[in-house]
Amino acid sequence: MNKPLQGIKVLDLSRVLAGPLGSMQLADLGAEVIRVEAPNGSDDIRHWWPFIEEESTYYLAANRNKKSITIDLKNTEGVALFKQLVKESDVVIENFKTGTLERLGLDYETLKSVKEDIILCSVTGYGQTGPYKDLPGYDPVIQAVGGLMDITGHPGAEATRVGTPVVDIMTSHYVAIGVLAALRHRDNEGEGEHIDLSLLDVQVSSLGNIASSYLLNDHVSERVGNAHGNITPYETFPCKDKPIMVAAGNDRLFQRMADAMGHPEWKDNPKFVTNGDRVANRAELRALLEDVFTEKGADEWEELLSSHAIPCGPVNNVEQVFDHPQVVAREMTQEADHPGVGRMKVVRNPIKYKNINVKMESAPPQLGEHTSEVLQGYGLSEKEIAALRDSGAI
């Protein structure tokens, strides 16, 4: 069965997470994604702890369904080889610092002269323009600069980084979206595109209602911990064993919650009748709720509240996540054979189609695993490949 992007060729120069996760989305949908690294490796993520059989689990999380070749882009013959591959490709993805491709002689205008309708997707910390364009940008720095840390954490406590590299992950989605739209534009208009993606831009765009409340009302949001600044009860509560998150987002849900918890009198308390009343008397309401929640375990409360259609769930650790019956039922892990690791398990792509099977066809590649195979597919002979290897170009 063909996949939607079958026949699309992507040369992936990107490293670490934002770019590789984006190209992995394209690979999952059927594109032939070819990772291009230096002969001795150029992706730091390969060396990040923890490891399984000398393979980084971090690297394994972002590179399924791809092939790996090595080309030295500081070698004249290597640059010429890369341009040869560009002639037969559709997309190039890179996340070097701004200006690096130009120094290598592989900037967009050069690539466009090689293939008129090539699509180049550049991912940087701060973008291709502006006073910060030459600075490196890493996820935690962007979380700080872009305002996410300042609104994350408890009141009066230290600003807090989100526990996953969420800016990289969000940016990876825009990599896939941007490339797909550019491919559609190419098919309609016959021209390529240079996509300029900035981690900071993505972070700023993700501020959502926080940004809107400032831009439209000059409201500067403050840290509220696990609570919601405008709704309550919409937060975590301690239970007998572990916390539970409850999201009673309107008056009707609060009334059902009061009944479920055995305190129907809360519904008629003038301090709690509307959400505005509850926000104004947040501390008093929370004290009452905490007293009741600590009487049972989080799973017990989830079962009881869910039976009354109250949105809620226990705060699970990662082990509990993958044991969760819904996660298991949705088959959110898949397995494939890896030459160094053996049978390995990864998180699957969350997109589920009726007619398209999105799965891990191949495990993340080892460095240079497919160099000969890929170059032969681009028309190079064994003799030409051997000569490139002897010259240090690959």
Q: How far is CA 90 from CA 8, 23, 170, 202, 364, in A?
A: 6, 13, 23, 24, 21
The total number of residues shown for the chain amounts to 394
Phi, psi angles (nearest 5°) of residue 7: 95, -10
Contact by Cβ (8 Å): 312, 306: yes
Separation of alpha carbons 277 and 279, rounded Å? 6
| Residue 341: alpha-carbon gap to chain centroid | 24
Is the bond into 50 cis (omega within 30 degrees of 0)? yes
Non-local CB neighbours of 336 within 8 Å, separated by 6+ positions: 64, 343, 344, 346, 360, 361, 362, 363
Separation of alpha carbons 14 and 95, rounded Å? 5
Contact by Cβ (8 Å): 78, 387: no
- DSSP calls for 244-280: EEEE--SHHHHHHHHHHTT-THHHH-TTTSSHHHHHH
168 is catalytic: yes
Query: Which residues in 330-343 are b (16+ Cβ under 10 Å) and which e?
Result: eebebebebeebee
Catalytic residue among 168, 251, 259, 337: 168
- DSSP calls for 153-214: S-TTS-----SS-HHHHHHHHHHHHHHHHHHHHHHHHS--EEEEEEHHHHHHHTTHHHHHHH
Q: Name residue 345's beta-bridge partners.
A: 335
The residues annotated as belonging to the active site are 168
